[in-house]
Amino acid sequence: MTQSRSPYLRFGLLVAAFAFILDQVAKWVIIVPLGLEAKRVIELVPIFNLTWAENCGISLSMFASCTDTTRWTLVAVTALVAGLVAVWMSREQAKGDVVALALILGGALGNIVDRVRHGFVVDYADLHFGDFRPFMIFNVADACITIGVLLLVARALLLGEKTPPADKSAASH
What pLDDT is stored for residue 97 in this prediction?
97
Q: What is the DSSP string of 86-130?
A: HHHHHH---HHHHHHHHHHHHHHHHHHHHHHHHSSEEEEEEE-BT
Is residue 169 very low, low, confident or very high in pLDDT (cuts 50, 70, 90)? low
Closest CA to 102 of 116, 90, 115: 90
Residues with a catalytic annotation lie at: 123, 142
Alpha carbons 28 and 26: distance in angstroms, whole number: 5
Closest CA to 101 of 92, 110, 109, 111: 92
Q: Which residues contact 141 (CB under 8 A, 6 or more apart)?
A: 19, 20, 23, 106, 107, 108, 109, 110, 111, 114, 121
What pLDDT is stored for residue 62 in this prediction?
58
Is residue 67 very low, low, confident or very high in pLDDT (cuts 50, 70, 90)? confident
pLDDT, tens digit (0-9, with 9 covering 90-100), for 135-148: 889 999 999 999 99
Angle at 46 between CA 42 and CA 52, to 5 degrees: 30
Mean pLDDT of the chain: 89
Is residue 153 very low, low, confident or very high in pLDDT (cuts 50, 70, 90)? very high
